[in-house]
Amino acid sequence: GENVEQHPSTLSVQEGDSAVIKCTYSDSASNYFPWYKQELGKRPQLIIDIRSNVGEKKDQRIAVTLNKTAKHFSLHITETQPEDSAVYFCAARNTGNQFYFGTGTSLTVIP
């Protein structure tokens, strides 16, 4: 089955700085990679996703890059704000429609 690794597990940045979270996956057939933000006590919220036929996608301050050859993808948040503080999960979907999640990154943005 798919194995998704995520680093770092915790990340603290100053407000206005950038944050980068990295994930690797094992199943080369995985074809869809969403990123979720989860605040304490809330549901995971999709913030950005990327399909395997695309190398990069950007939505305002958030961007995701995918390297299919190396089987890794990354989340980039620029100009971080305190409200970006949350746990972020990457995920990979395989051809069997199963979603496998990374272990999560707890991001703290210090005002």
Partner 1 sequence: DTEVTQTPKHLVMGMTNKKSLKCEQHMGHRAMYWYKQKAKKPPELMFVYSYEKLSINESVPSRFSPECPNSSLLNLHLHALQPEDSALYLCASSPLTSGITDTQYFGPGTRLTVL
Looking up tokens 């798919």, which residue turns up? Answer: 2
Q: C-beta of 84: minimal distance to partner 1 in Å?
A: 18
Closest CA to 34 of 108, 85, 100: 100
CB of 37 to partner 1, least distance (A): 11
Distance of alpha carbon 8 from the chain centroid: 11
Q: Report how far residue 7's alpha carbon sits from residue 73's, in angstroms, rounded to the nearest whole number.
A: 11
Q: What's the rounded Cα separation, in Å, for the pair 94 and 28? A: 9
CA distance 29 to 43: 28
Residue 58 as a binder of partner 1 (CB under 8 A): the answer is no
Instruction: Count CB atoms within 10 A of the CB of residue 70.
Output: 8
CB of 100 to partner 1, least distance (A): 7
Residues 21-40 as x/- pattern, contact with partner 1 by CB under 8 A:
----------xx-x-x----
Q: Does residue 108 interact with partner 1 by CB under 8 A?
A: no
Residue from 23, 93, 107, 109 binding partner 1 (CB under 8 A): 93
Chain residues in the site for partner 1 (CB under 8 A): 31-32, 34, 36, 42-46, 49, 51-53, 87, 89, 93, 96-104, 106
